[in-house]
A and B are shown apart, each in its own frame.
Chain A
Amino acid sequence: MHSLIQLSIVVLLLPLLSFVILIFFNRRLPRRGDFVGVGILGTAFALSAYIFWTVIVQTYDPAFRVAWDFTWIDLGQVPGIGPLQIKMGIVIDNLTAIMLAMVTLISLLVHLYSTGYMAGDKNYGRYYAFLGIFTFSMLGIVLSDNLFSIYIFWELVGLSSYLLIGFFFEKDSAADAQKKAFLANRVGDIGMWLGILILYSQFHTFSFTEIYANLAAGKFAMSNAWLTAAGLLLFMGCVGKSAQFPLHIWLPDAMEGPTPVSALIHAATMVAAGVYFVARIFVVLTPDALHVIAFIGAFTAFMAATIAITQNDIKRVLAYSTVSQLGYMVLGLGVGAYSAALFHLVTHAFFKACLFLGSGAIIHAMHHEQDMRWMGGLRKHMPWTFATFTLATLALAGLPLTSGFMSKDAILAGAIGFATAEGGGVYYLIPVLGFFSAMLTAFYMGRQIWLVFFGESRTHLKPADDHHSAHHAHSTHDTHNDDHHAAHEVHEVSWNMRAPLVILAALSVFFVYSPNPLDGAQGWFMKMIQTPPTVVGSYQSAPSSEKLAVGSQQSATEGENSALSTQHSALSEQHSAPEAEHSALSTQHSALKESTQHSALTNERQAEIAHASHAAHFPAIYISSIMVILGITLAGIVYVFRIIDPDKTAEAIRPLYLFSLNKWYWDEIYDATFIRGSMLISKMLSWFDTNIIDGIVNGVALIVKKVAFANNSFDKYVVDGLVNFTAFSVNTTGAVLRKLQTGKVQTYVVMLLAVVFGYFVFYFTRLIY
């Protein structure tokens, strides 16, 4: 076993240990055992950082991969299924190493942050236990090398998410939100499981590498439509977990959980697991499936951004922003901007965690006031929070010099490239929606920053009864009773809540990822994460056949697989010019063509999209910068200079405003269709049950009763009569016969003689006649 594998197993099991210790012993430990959680996560992070260092910094090889597995369950030949052998395994490649470090780092920071935020909660110890099991499950997803174990951990993160959303389960809204999250995820997971089963039915394996190899060898016996269906069903898991349309409805409600949990699970890691999963199965996805994914991502990004504009709850804005950014990532994967999407996953994880923890600090300081309308002027009171929150906001909006700028532009460039390669038309909708969402992002984040940090405090403007009820709802963890002193008591949070903010904000700056603030592709991340060659069948689109021919020629001239690695090492040394890079990219794809003839054309398409994306790099930068600046300017016009009054504008476009405020009425639509529908079906089934099924049962019972009654009579009079008659006759006979038994020998002798005499009489009578 590779030493990195051993290390990663330790990293995986450490949070589980934390969970076990804390769930059983938290009441016996000082401080409810929070130091156990923080300490264990610190260790896990240190080990992950070592893995990261070894894999990314020291090895620096895009093709790095170590794997290990063992047979977990071997059922041999199962009738109707074939050989059923379930393996568990661990794979470490560049993506895993990055995710490992990211998850443990954010988890560690959230653990640390929670020592301040959750202090004094009555279920403090259990909270840390839940964080432990979540981290364990998330690391399991990241390390899994097969679909089966990823599904297990997938459900485990769902469970931990459920537990943590409903952490304040005394509140009805929290209990409802956790149920909603669980059910929405269930819908997605069913699809994911069906997708896994389709692939299993073909290949009899869950392992990623074996599935890829089988698929590349053309062993998929069913039609391409089935492969598309399998890809889309697997994508349904992502739709549920990463809150994509149409299952996005649970994520904003999930904000009922503690804010650090929102940062860890519902912004940085778990929701990104969907994107991670799609990246893992990326090579299985057919072009058709990718198109659907791209459109769903684009639509989600746009829809969530429009909703975020009008929300008043500070966490809900961030929640819709998360949905929107996840839409970007899915969009990125859909258009084939694989590394860009994963890059955005990582950068988003850091700045969004920073935003959530920042909002947690604000909520904490405001004594659990979450409504931005009653905030304002916090800049002076909370300078650290303000600085970090603003930096993360800039990253989210995608201003140059931030990490978000690089990753988002890479995705948008990919979207433009995709639209160009596909021949335009409706495909341009994807980049257009992407850019428009970028503007909306800048706008709503500008609005949030202004409402929260600038201006005067508006605490006193809050309607009293509203305030009271809100206050009452949070009374479980709020010790302050004096409402109106809140504004005066606002002060900066303590160091253990500030340190995570600073670290996360620092990770939102460009130089962490790339030396060139305008081009993420020159950074280590996008060099380490390369688009894997697809293994699905050939794909041909009419307008691009000319370019395909060019690509094939290149592949003929360029050579072996080995050429690939040399090309890459050369590349990493010189941070070469765009032309060289593109040629390297196409070389990779052409080289892979040799090994997988079957999927060659699709890979050519990937190369082509990559080429077009590269060409679109600078246009993307310009357009998105303009959009961001436009968005921020608009926010400034509306909220800073108040040239346009937001309330009057809202009145002027009231239908649109309400449409956005009510979240596009998705909840109402689902309520009217699925919920009412299932209620109606339930009622119908209930009626059927009470009247038909119960009727049948009662009818049968009645028949049985009648039969039993008849049977009883028969038993009583006929059977018992016969039995009694037999007894009676035996009794009577006995009574007669017993007279004969006198006990006297002489009587017997007489009887004997009488019988003998009788016999003689009989015999002689016969003789005579």
Chain B
Amino acid sequence: MEHLVPIGLNHYLTISAFLLGFGLFAVMTRKNAIVVLMGVELILNAANINFIAFSKYNGGMGGIMFSLFVIVIAAAEAAIALAIVINIFKIFKSVDVSSIDSMKE
């Protein structure tokens, strides 16, 4: 087990980056609005990991507090976003984000 590298800040940041990348990939490529929202959650959580990691290695409680705040906001965001999705479905009879382009006009 000695050859194993102890887990440091870079590991966390790497995970966070991958999570951000997955999140962005989901947001940019998926057609289903629900999945897009899930991608957004991934991005938020990537940010949370960063906050926690920096908090742990730099000391201080700011990062932890901020991540808690983000979780709360994310909950509220999920509630509102799902409500929006339901409304979109009511109007367009679909949740396919690629077909909803009425912002063009």
On A, residues with C-beta under 8 Å from B are 741-746, 749-750, 753
Binds A, one of B1-9, B48-56, B67-75, B93-101: B93-101
Contact B105 A743 (CB under 8 A): yes
Nearest 9 pairs between A and B by C-beta?
A743-B104, A743-B101, A743-B103, A744-B101, A746-B28, A749-B28, A749-B27, A750-B28, A745-B97
Residue B24 at the A interface, CB < 8 A? yes
Residue B58 at the A interface, CB < 8 A? no
- The residues of A that contact B10 with a CB separation of less than 8 Å are none
> Can you add 17 more A-B contacts, CB < 8 Å, to A744-B101, A749-B27?
A741-B104, A742-B101, A742-B104, A743-B100, A743-B101, A743-B102, A743-B105, A744-B97, A744-B103, A745-B36, A745-B97, A745-B100, A745-B103, A746-B27, A746-B29, A749-B24, A753-B28
| 8 cross-chain CB contacts under 8 A | A742-B101, A743-B101, A743-B104, A743-B105, A745-B36, A749-B27, A753-B24, A753-B28
A217 to B36, CA, bound (A): 115
CB distance from B46 to the nearest CB of A (A): 14
CB distance from B21 to the nearest CB of A (A): 11
- The residues of A that contact B102 with a CB separation of less than 8 Å are 743
A698 to B6, CA, bound (A): 102
Identify the closest chain A residue to B31 (Cβ): A746
Identify the closest chain B residue to A738 (Cβ): B104
A741 to B105, CA, bound (A): 9
A749 to B102, CA, bound (A): 16
How many residues does chain B have at the interface if contact means C-beta atoms less than 8 Å apart? 13
A193 to B29, CA, bound (A): 104
A745 to B96, CA, bound (A): 11
Identify the closest chain A residue to B27 (Cβ): A749
- The residues of B that contact A749 with a CB separation of less than 8 Å are 24, 27-28
A742 to B105, CA, bound (A): 9
Contact B98 A746 (CB under 8 A): yes
A743 to B97, CA, bound (A): 10
- The residues of B that contact A744 with a CB separation of less than 8 Å are 97-98, 100-101, 103-104
- The residues of A that contact B28 with a CB separation of less than 8 Å are 746, 749-750, 753
Contact A746 B97 (CB under 8 A): yes
A406 to B104, CA, bound (A): 119
On B, residues with C-beta under 8 Å from A are 24, 27-29, 36, 97-98, 100-105
A744 to B27, CA, bound (A): 12
- The residues of A that contact B97 with a CB separation of less than 8 Å are 744-746
CB distance from A38 to the nearest CB of B (A): 95
A746 to B99, CA, bound (A): 11
A753 to B39, CA, bound (A): 15
- The residues of A that contact B29 with a CB separation of less than 8 Å are 746
A686 to B24, CA, bound (A): 93
Identify the closest chain B residue to A748 (Cβ): B103
A744 to B36, CA, bound (A): 13
- The residues of B that contact A742 with a CB separation of less than 8 Å are 101, 104
CB distance from A712 to the nearest CB of B (A): 42
Identify the closest chain A residue to B29 (Cβ): A746
Identify the closest chain A residue to B103 (Cβ): A743
A743 to B29, CA, bound (A): 15
A749 to B98, CA, bound (A): 13
A750 to B100, CA, bound (A): 16
- The residues of B that contact A750 with a CB separation of less than 8 Å are 28
A247 to B20, CA, bound (A): 118
CB distance from A6 to the nearest CB of B (A): 93
Identify the closest chain B residue to A745 (Cβ): B97
A152 to B57, CA, bound (A): 113
A39 to B47, CA, bound (A): 119
A745 to B36, CA, bound (A): 10
- The residues of B that contact A743 with a CB separation of less than 8 Å are 100-105
- The residues of B that contact A745 with a CB separation of less than 8 Å are 36, 97, 100, 103
A743 to B103, CA, bound (A): 4
- The residues of B that contact A741 with a CB separation of less than 8 Å are 104
A741 to B104, CA, bound (A): 6
A746 to B36, CA, bound (A): 9
A549 to B32, CA, bound (A): 140
CB distance from B84 to the nearest CB of A (A): 12
A745 to B102, CA, bound (A): 10
Query: A746, A749, A750, A753 — which one has the most chain B CB atoms within 10 A of its CB?
Result: A746
A741 to B98, CA, bound (A): 13
- The residues of B that contact A753 with a CB separation of less than 8 Å are 24, 28
- The residues of A that contact B24 with a CB separation of less than 8 Å are 749, 753
Identify the closest chain A residue to B98 (Cβ): A744
A745 to B97, CA, bound (A): 7
A143 to B74, CA, bound (A): 109
A741 to B103, CA, bound (A): 8
A741 to B101, CA, bound (A): 10
A65 to B104, CA, bound (A): 104
A749 to B20, CA, bound (A): 14
- The residues of A that contact B104 with a CB separation of less than 8 Å are 741-744
A745 to B104, CA, bound (A): 10
Identify the closest chain B residue to A746 (Cβ): B28
- The residues of A that contact B103 with a CB separation of less than 8 Å are 743-745
A753 to B23, CA, bound (A): 13
CB distance from A166 to the nearest CB of B (A): 85
CB distance from A157 to the nearest CB of B (A): 88
A744 to B101, CA, bound (A): 5
CB distance from B22 to the nearest CB of A (A): 14
CB distance from B26 to the nearest CB of A (A): 10
CB distance from A254 to the nearest CB of B (A): 93
A742 to B24, CA, bound (A): 19
- The residues of A that contact B105 with a CB separation of less than 8 Å are 743
CB distance from A756 to the nearest CB of B (A): 11
CB distance from B34 to the nearest CB of A (A): 14
Identify the closest chain A residue to B39 (Cβ): A749
CB distance from A19 to the nearest CB of B (A): 83
A753 to B24, CA, bound (A): 9
CB distance from A221 to the nearest CB of B (A): 91
CB distance from A736 to the nearest CB of B (A): 16
A595 to B29, CA, bound (A): 125
Identify the closest chain B residue to A741 (Cβ): B104
A746 to B101, CA, bound (A): 10
CB distance from A449 to the nearest CB of B (A): 115
CB distance from A759 to the nearest CB of B (A): 16
A726 to B105, CA, bound (A): 24
CB distance from A764 to the nearest CB of B (A): 16
A746 to B39, CA, bound (A): 12
- The residues of A that contact B27 with a CB separation of less than 8 Å are 746, 749
Identify the closest chain A residue to B33 (Cβ): A745
CB distance from B89 to the nearest CB of A (A): 15
A750 to B28, CA, bound (A): 7
A753 to B25, CA, bound (A): 11
Identify the closest chain B residue to A744 (Cβ): B101
Query: A742, A745, A749 — which one has the most chain B CB atoms within 10 A of its CB?
Result: A745
Identify the closest chain A residue to B30 (Cβ): A746
A742 to B102, CA, bound (A): 9
CB distance from B5 to the nearest CB of A (A): 27
CB distance from B17 to the nearest CB of A (A): 13
CB distance from B94 to the nearest CB of A (A): 13
CB distance from A734 to the nearest CB of B (A): 14
CB distance from B76 to the nearest CB of A (A): 20
A742 to B99, CA, bound (A): 11
A412 to B27, CA, bound (A): 133
- The residues of A that contact B36 with a CB separation of less than 8 Å are 745-746
CB distance from B96 to the nearest CB of A (A): 10
